[in-house]
Chains A and B, each alone.
Chain A
Amino acid sequence: MTTPIVKINNLSKIFHSPKEETLAVKDFSLEVRAGEFVVLVGPSGCGKSTILSALAGLIKPSAGEIIYNPNKAIKKKPSIGYMLQQDHLFQWRTILQNAILGLEIQNKNTKENILKTRKLLEVYGLGDFINHYPNQLSGGMRQRAALIRTLAVDPEILLLDEPFSALDYQTRLAVADDIGSIIKNEKRTAVMVTHDISEAISMADRVVVLSKRPGMVKKIHEIKLSCSKQTPIIRREAPEFREYFNEIWKELDVHVS
Chain B
Amino acid sequence: MSLKNDTQNYSQTFSREHLNYLKDIKRQKILILSSRIILLVAFFLIWEVAAKFKWIDPFITSQPSRMWDTFLSLHQNGSLYKHIGITISETIIGFVSGTLLGSLMAILLWWSDFLSKVLDPYLVVLNSLPKVALGPIIIVFFGAGYSAIITMALLVSLFTTIIGVFSGLRQVDKEKITLLKTFGANKKQILTKVVIPASFPTIMNALRINVGLSWVGVIMGEFLVSKAGLGYLIVYGSQVFQLDTVMTSVIILAIAAALMYIGVSYLEKMVLEKRI
Contacts and interface: CB of A to CB of B under 8 A. Distances in A.
A88 B181 CA distance: 13
B175 A140 contact: no
Given A56-B182, A81-B182, A105-B185, A88 B173 contact: yes
Interface in B170-205: 173, 175-176, 178-185, 189, 193-194, 197-198, 200
B5 interface: yes
B4 A105 contact: no
B119 to A, nearest CB: 22
Contacts of B183: 101-102, 105-106, 153
A82 B276 contact: no
Contact of B193 (A81, A104, A132): A104
Contacts of B3: 132, 136-137
A58 B182 contact: yes
Contacts of A101: 180, 183, 193
A91 B275 contact: yes
A88 B182 contact: no
A82 B231 CA distance: 59
A9 interface: no
Contacts of B189: 105
B254 interface: no
Contacts of A133: 276
Given A88-B173, A137-B4, A140-B1, A58 B178 contact: yes
B182 A82 contact: yes
Given A90-B194, A136-B3, A138-B1, A106 B184 contact: yes
B182 A80 contact: yes
B193 A105 contact: yes
A132 B2 CA distance: 13
Contacts of B180: 101, 105
Nearest to A81: B182
B178 A84 contact: yes
B171 to A, nearest CB: 15
A123 to B, nearest CB: 15
B275 A92 contact: yes
A141 interface: yes
Interface in B1-31: 1-5
A114 B193 CA distance: 18
A71 interface: no
Nearest to B272: A92
A100 B5 CA distance: 25
Q: Max chain A CB contacts within 10 Å: which of B4, B189, B194?
A: B4
A85 B175 CA distance: 9
Interface string A68-109: 000000000000111011101011100000000110111000
Contact of B184 (A90, A105, A136): A105
Nearest to A94: B276
Contacts of A84: 175, 178-179
A81 B181 CA distance: 11
Contact of B176 (A88, A104, A136): A88
Contacts of B173: 88
Interface string A125-167: 1000000110111101100000000000100000100000000
B270 to A, nearest CB: 14
B7 to A, nearest CB: 12
A90 B179 CA distance: 11
Contacts of B182: 56, 58, 80-82, 159
A163 B193 CA distance: 23
A80 B189 CA distance: 18
Nearest to B275: A92
Nearest to A128: B3
A85 B276 CA distance: 23
Contacts of B181: 58
Contacts of B5: 136
Contacts of A106: 183-184
Contacts of A104: 193
Nearest to B5: A136
A147 to B, nearest CB: 13
A177 B189 CA distance: 34
B175 A88 contact: yes
Interface of B: 1-5, 173, 175-176, 178-185, 189, 193-194, 197-198, 200, 275-276
List the 10 closest A-B pairs by CB distance, nearest first.
Answer: A82-B182, A92-B275, A102-B183, A105-B183, A105-B185, A88-B179, A133-B276, A92-B197, A88-B176, A105-B189
10 contacts: A58-B178, A58-B182, A88-B179, A91-B275, A92-B275, A105-B183, A105-B184, A105-B189, A132-B3, A137-B4
